[in-house]
Amino acid sequence: MSQTPIPSTAPALPLRLHVPEPSARPGDETDFSYLHLSEAGAVRRPAVDAKAASTADIAYALVRVLTPDGEAVGPWAPDLPPEVLRQALRDMIKTRAFDARMTLAQRQKKTSFYMQCLGEEAIAIGQRLALQDGDMYFPTYRQQGLLLANPEVSMVEMVCQLLSNERDPLKGRQLPVMYSIKRAGFFSISGNLATQFIQGVGWAMASAIKGDTRIASAWIGDGSTAESDFHTALTFAHVYRAPVILNVVNNQWAISTFQAIAGGEGTTFAARGVGCGIASLRVDGNDFLAVYAASRWAAERARGGHGPALIEWVTYRGGPHSTSDDPSKYRPADDWQRFPLGDPISRLATYLTKRGLWSDAEHEATREAMEAEVLAALKEAEQYGSLLDGRGPSDALMFEDVYEEMPAHLRQQRQELGV
Ligand SMILES: Cc1ncc(C[n+]2csc(CCOP(=O)(O)OP(=O)(O)O)c2C)c(N)n1
Ligand SMILES: [Mg+2]
């Protein structure tokens, strides 16, 4: 028998949807209190085999090591040799110089497109130091630091890809910045957002199935977590304890969309991991020491067979989304200058200077040397063509490498094109 519902005593109000908005638009000042920062050194460091649910407090806090005056404090402060720290700073300066010059090359019409990682340099470079040769990266377009910090990767080869020239190793088949460098463990960048997570988890599962010792490092942006692939990847990673580091780079924006629209309001992206049974950390992505320490923790956890870890890196996208974007239309122009976590390069430089391992003069000399190195790489790559002179890969290449034996219809099309 059906029952009659008991009438509510509350007055019936019209229902409304909540549409999150950033606190400021161009011309106003952003209120960054929404970030909920912790003090440096305040967040505990759990054992690498900690139960996923026990990391819940850290998923809502913020792991930080560097104080505003450049001291390293607390349980996450890593013990890295001075030369490793100095090299990391040089690599971050190199990445920034590369981005600036390639952005200019796009404005000069030498390449069609470029994407910078301005303000996010510490994340890729810090994580790379915590991984080992043979581990596999499934990066997005904002982890060029993984390549620029790798002495085995030629900068000229990267620029040839950007210029889509005769020596483009990807033969003009990928958008500029979508590198693919197998020997560096750098999986082909896909423009289809969030695929990195399912592919990275799948690769990590395969590594475990084979009884291998290699782990995966998968990358996604705040906006891309709204894709269903993100959630599918978390379920598989949790269920099979895949040896993978799940990196969520929360740079506050997805093109013109504020991170709250992807679900960052009133909760954190790290909290998604805990909800799926994955140990999760929320970390200051502009604090090189915290990036290295958290990556190291996650890598030891994965390699030790204790399961995946999700890390939300809190940072800020200092530049436009890409050379096709104009952020002055949708966010305050001074946001990055006012961002409470500062600039990762100057923070590491301050720490090293305080320890007597760096100086303003060395900083300036390094910046000049890196700019010269990048310019020399660009000049060399331009000898093999750029968009300006149209010396790109041969049209014939579009017919190759798909079928072992070219089918008749493709042979015909190729003949019609006369290549
Ligand atoms: C599946 C899919 N949807 C939409 C796009 C278009 N798109 C490219 S980048 C981007 C924003 C991504 O933002 P986020 O994940 O935060 O990464 P960020 O660019 O900030 O590093 C969008 C919507 C795409 N490439 N793929
Ligand atoms: Mg983003």
pLDDT at 113 over 80: yes
Closest ligand, as measured to the CA of 250: 2
Is the separation of the CB atoms in 129 and 157 below 8 Å? no
pLDDT at 145 over 70: yes
Minimum-distance ligand 1 atom for the alpha carbon of 142: 21
| 194 CA from centroid of ligand 1 (Å) | 8
pTM over 0.95: yes
Average pLDDT over residues 144-167: 98
High-pLDDT (> 90) share of the chain, % = 95
Residue whose structure tokens are 């660009």: 378
Average pLDDT over residues 390-418: 92
Provide the 3-class DSSP secondary structure of residue 250: strand
Is the separation of the CB atoms in 119 and 343 below 8 Å? yes
The Cα–Cα gap between 199 and 183 comes to 18
The Cα–Cα gap between 163 and 181 comes to 16
| 115 CA from centroid of ligand 1 (Å) | 12
Minimum-distance ligand 1 atom for the alpha carbon of 141: 21
Does 145 contact ligand 1 (Cβ within 6 A)? no
| 24 CA from centroid of ligand 1 (Å) | 22
Q: How far apart are the first and last CA of the chain?
A: 77
pLDDT digits (tens, 9 = 90+) for 220-247: 999 999 999 999 999 999 999 999 999 9
pLDDT digits (tens, 9 = 90+) for 239-286: 999 999 999 999 999 999 999 999 999 999 999 999 999 999 999 999
Does 251 contact ligand 1 (Cβ within 6 A)? yes
Closest ligand, as measured to the CA of 319: 1
| 348 CA from centroid of ligand 1 (Å) | 29
Minimum-distance ligand 1 atom for the alpha carbon of 220: 15
Question: What is the pLDDT of the chain when averaged over all its residues?
Answer: 97
pLDDT at 10 over 90: no
Minimum-distance ligand 1 atom for the alpha carbon of 322: 19
| 313 CA from centroid of ligand 2 (Å) | 11
- Residue 347's alpha-carbon distances to 108, 178, 278, 287, 314, in angstroms, are 32, 29, 30, 7, 15
At residue 291, the pLDDT reads 99
| 274 CA from centroid of ligand 1 (Å) | 24
The Cα–Cα gap between 274 and 354 comes to 37
Is the separation of the CB atoms in 309 and 50 below 8 Å? no
Q: 266: left (phi > 0), else alpha (psi -120 to 50), else beta?
A: left
Residue whose structure tokens are 């084979």: 210
Does 261 contact ligand 1 (Cβ within 6 A)? no
Average pLDDT over residues 370-381: 98
At residue 84, the pLDDT reads 98
At residue 8, the pLDDT reads 85
Domain 38-322+332-388 in CATH: superfamily? Thiamin diphosphate (ThDP)-binding fold, Pyr/PP domains (3.40.50.970)
Residue whose structure tokens are 């003949």: 415
Is the separation of the CB atoms in 158 and 186 below 8 Å? no
Does 196 contact ligand 1 (Cβ within 6 A)? no
pLDDT at 1 over 70: no
Adjacent-strand bridge partners of 217: 137, 245
Rounded-to-10 torsion of CA 166, 169, 170, 171: 20
Does 191 contact ligand 1 (Cβ within 6 A)? yes
Does 141 contact ligand 1 (Cβ within 6 A)? no
Adjacent-strand bridge partners of 218: 138, 246
Average pLDDT over residues 385-400: 92
Average pLDDT over residues 75-83: 98
At residue 11, the pLDDT reads 85
**Cβ of 265: how many Cβ atoms within 10 Å?**
14
Q: Which amino acid is at 157?
A: E
Q: β-strands 216-221, 244-250: how paired?
A: parallel
Q: Nearest CA to 276 among 249, 251, 244? A: 244
pLDDT at 24 over 80: yes
The Cα–Cα gap between 77 and 281 comes to 15
Q: Nearest CA to 297 among 132, 135, 102, 76? A: 76
| 347 CA from centroid of ligand 2 (Å) | 22
b/e per residue 362-385 (b: at least 16 CB within 10 A) = bbeebbeebbeebeebbeebbebb
User: Best mutation site among 255, 314, 331 for ligand 1, i.e. most ligand atoms within 8 A of its Cβ?
Assistant: 255
User: Best mutation site among 219, 224, 246, 324 for ligand 1, i.e. most ligand atoms within 8 A of its Cβ?
Assistant: 224
At residue 150, the pLDDT reads 98
Q: Which residues contact 308 (CB under 8 A, 6 or more apart)?
A: 201, 204, 237, 238, 241, 242, 243, 244, 245, 246, 278, 279, 301, 302
Helical H runs in 210-341? 228-239, 269-275, 288-303, 335-338
At residue 51, the pLDDT reads 98
The Cα–Cα gap between 204 and 215 comes to 6
At residue 258, the pLDDT reads 98
Minimum-distance ligand 1 atom for the alpha carbon of 140: 21
Does 142 contact ligand 1 (Cβ within 6 A)? yes
**What residue spans define the domains of the chain?**
38-322+332-388
At residue 33, the pLDDT reads 98
DSSP state of 317: -
Strands (E), 156-235: 216-221
Does 319 contact ligand 1 (Cβ within 6 A)? no
Minimum-distance ligand 1 atom for the alpha carbon of 225: 15
